[in-house]
Amino acid sequence: MIKAGIIGATGYTGAELVRMLSAHPDVELTVITSRQYEGSPISDVYPSLSGRCELVCEAFDLETFCDRVDIAFTALPHKIPMDIVPGLLKGGVRVVDLSADFRFRNVADYEAWYQPHTASELSEKAVYGLCELYRDQIRDARVVGNPGCYPTTILLALVPLLKAGIIRAEGIISDSKSGVSGAGRGLSLGSHFCEANESFKAYKVDGHRHRPEIEEVLSAAHGDAVEITFIPHLIPATRGMLSTIYCTLVEGKTEDDARKVLAETYGASPFVRLREKGRVPDILHVQHTNFCDIGLASDARGGRLVVMSAIDNLLKGASGQAVQNMNIMAGLDERAGLL
């Protein structure tokens, strides 16, 4: 059995990790931490976990934590993990980090959009945890930077098409929508019921910090710089995320060519489902699952390809993908604990 611990277990992503890991056939969840709820059973914080996990939230102590776990999930706000992860690694613990701290290979990009990085040498060694595209690197990784939710939808849809020369790198536009849980459990005016209910609006139109993460991976896949227009929207739903991405087909390429590339890329991937021609992804069909559903449509008049990608932002967009990363790192069935 793999001994797992969660640092930051009482946010939405932390609670999803508790739910999945406490029922995982190959995992013993041994410790969960929370500063706010130290001393409280997790079932008091989330009554839905009653009878499923009776662990008590603890304050984080590096030495005692490392003594009890093989792998750590850091479900913390950006900046905090970079101060914790070096100590975990010295204690012999492997890490899946759900913040942005270890997603970037180019530390300068991270620092431009977040804050100064205090563990840049680890950032350069970390593996980007997009499971379907980086399995081989993830297997041996000591630190995995779990991807952001929006990047997961966009990159799974576009990376194979860029690599295969199906779409042009110029002029990519992603119109992306997220449920309110993507904002986290902390209180904010925009996530109040009366503000979000019956509302549908764009936000951070002048630049969302998931954009440089998306562009770094697309650029690596393309072999040259790729810039996209990325506009996120908030929808009045608790969970779910849909990206509708507009691309230009390379001359001579068709929707059928794109469909063939995606089918070949993800044929052996249990959590990516390519929708049949004429059917489109729906967040309702991926809620509470680790699936990413991808659909295609084309406009022959303008040579445009429309790629649609839907996930549950808390699962494939966060905690589900983190467990999938752990499964790969441990040599387990990729689906373990996720169905």
Residues whose CB falls within 8 Å of the CB of residue 58, separated by 6 or more in sequence, listed in order? 31, 32, 33, 34, 38
What tokens were used for 91? 């204690």
> Helix count (H) and strand count (E) of the chain?
12, 13
Inter-CA distances, 64 with 56, 69, 128, 189, Å: 15, 9, 28, 38
Q: Is 240 left (phi over 0), alpha (psi -120 to 50) or beta?
A: left
Question: How far from each other are the two terminal CA atoms of the chain, in whole angstroms?
Answer: 19
Q: Position of tokens 């950032």?
A: 123
Query: Tell me, what amino acid is at 337?
Result: G
DSSP state letter for 75: -
| Burial of residue 276, with CB atoms counted within 10 A of its CB: 0-12 exposed, 13-18 middle, 19 or more buried | exposed
Known catalytic residue at 57: no
DSSP state letter for 315: I
Catalytically annotated residue among 57, 149, 247, 292 = 149
Supply φ then ψ for residue 5, to 5 degrees.
-135, 150
From CA 187, how far away is CA 29, in angstroms rounded?
28
| Burial of residue 14, with CB atoms counted within 10 A of its CB: 0-12 exposed, 13-18 middle, 19 or more buried | buried
Q: Position of tokens 């530390």?
A: 107
Supply φ then ψ for residue 83, to 5 degrees.
-85, -20
DSSP bridge pairs for 242: 177, 310
From CA 172, how far away is CA 95, in angstroms rounded?
33
Q: Which residues are catalytic?
A: 149
